[in-house]
Structure formats: C-alpha cells, structure tokens
Amino acid sequence: MRGTLVERFEAKYIPEPNSGCWLWEGSYVTGGYGQIRIGSTRVLAHHVAYQLFKGEVGESKVLHNCDNPACVNPGHLRLGTQSENIKESVDKGRKNIARGERCGSSKLTESQVCEIKYLLANTTLRQRDIAAKYGVHQVTISKIDRGRCWGICNAPTPQEVLSPMSAGRAGPAVKMTTSTNIGQKPL
C-alpha cells in the first residue's frame, strides 16, 4: 500500500474493545512485535506509534503498559530504559530466567546448598574446604554465604543464623540432609 506513513500505519491495526489495545495486523518480528517498513528499513510498529502520536523516542525504549507486544495504542506506550524493561519482564514472568537446579550450568542441588549454608553457619570449615567437598569454586561458597546466589534455598544464610532477630526467626531452622560432622563446632 502506498500513502503517507500515518495512512499506512492506520491501515495496519484494529482496536480491541475489551483491552483498548490496537492490535497490529501487519508483519511481525520475533516476540510478537509488529513492524512497518519506512523506506528500506523495518521499524518496530510500537516505536512508530509513539513517534506519530506522542513524540520523539530518542535513546529511550518504548515500553508497553498493557504487556501486549502486538499493541500499538499510544495510550498504552511510554518511554523507559532497557533496565526497566528487563526488570518489568522478569517481575511479570515474561522472561524465563532459570535459577537454582533449573539452570543448566548448576553444579549444586538445593539440598546441597542448604547443607552448605548449615556448614557455613555451624562449623569451623573454611569456604575453600567446603568448595572442595562439593566440587565448586570458593567464590561460589562465598556468594552463598553472603546471600548473593542461591537465594531460593529456604535455609537461612549464616548472617541470618548469627542474628536471628533481624531475620524474624527464633534461631536456626536448618535440617541436615546428610550426616556431616567434620569441623562441627562444639556445643
């Protein structure tokens, strides 16, 4: 279809009455985002919608308030940053980030991480020794110790064990799943 950009754009969407979305009926890119050709360049349709009806995009990203990638309703669009876009995607469950045992490169199970947290809190073993026992690097043990990775494990971090009032616990609530008493602190 020939015509102005506005005419071409308006011919490619239909309003959806329940959500208020303007659903793109032109071609799509991966992820369900519409695209439109401007000269020899293909441009994301929601970016064009924003520019036509609201103004320049500049270095910003155009984000959807409606979470519908096919929507080109300028009332559903706003400017934001890439980090905001990623955070929203994760928070709303649109970005599948494998964590814990579901991560293909994971060397530990959740049970092992709970054991490691127990060992860190209740023994005199060094991180290096715990790492060797589980076949991981000492940095991994350090991150577990500081709560920087494996936050999904229900066992408290050593810091939580040492200051149970700050974690809202009356004391450690960790059960060992294997019998390990090497380096156990005396009672």
Query: pLDDT tens for residues 61-77?
Result: 999 999 899 999 999 99
Task: Look up tokens 């040492």; give the residue.
Answer: 162
* Tokens read off for 69: 């990638």
Q: Which of 63-77, 80-94, 99-113, 123-137 has the lowest mean pLDDT?
A: 99-113
Does residue 68 share a domain with residue 119? no
The total number of residues shown for the chain amounts to: 187
The 8 Å CB, 24+ separation contacts for 27-35 are 28/70, 31/69, 32/69, 32/70, 33/69, 33/70, 34/69, 34/70, 34/72
Give me the mean pLDDT over the 6-19 stretch.
93
The CATH number covering residue 20 comes to: 3.90.75.20
Does residue 84 share a domain with residue 28? yes
* Domain C-terminal end among 91, 116, 135: 91
Q: What does pTM read for this prediction?
A: 0.52
Q: Which of 68, 78, 1 is nearest to 28 (CA)?
A: 68
Q: How many domains are contained in the chain?
A: 2
* Domain C-terminal end among 31, 65, 91: 91
Does residue 69 share a domain with residue 123? no
CA distance 158 to 168: 14
**What does the longest C-alpha to C-alpha distance in the chain come to?**
83
End-to-end CA distance of the chain: 82
Residue 44: what residue type? Answer: L
Does residue 122 share a domain with residue 62? no
Does residue 85 share a domain with residue 112? no
Does residue 185 share a domain with residue 164? yes
Does residue 83 share a domain with residue 117? no
Does residue 22 share a domain with residue 74? yes
Q: Could you list the residue range(s) of the whole structural domain that residue 107 is in?
A: 99-187
Does residue 77 share a domain with residue 152? no
Task: Look up tokens 């279809």; give the residue.
Answer: 1
User: pLDDT tens-digit profile of 32-62?
Assistant: 899 999 999 999 999 999 999 999 998 899 9
Does residue 113 share a domain with residue 171? yes
Mean pLDDT of the chain: 80
Indicate the SS3 state at residue 183: coil
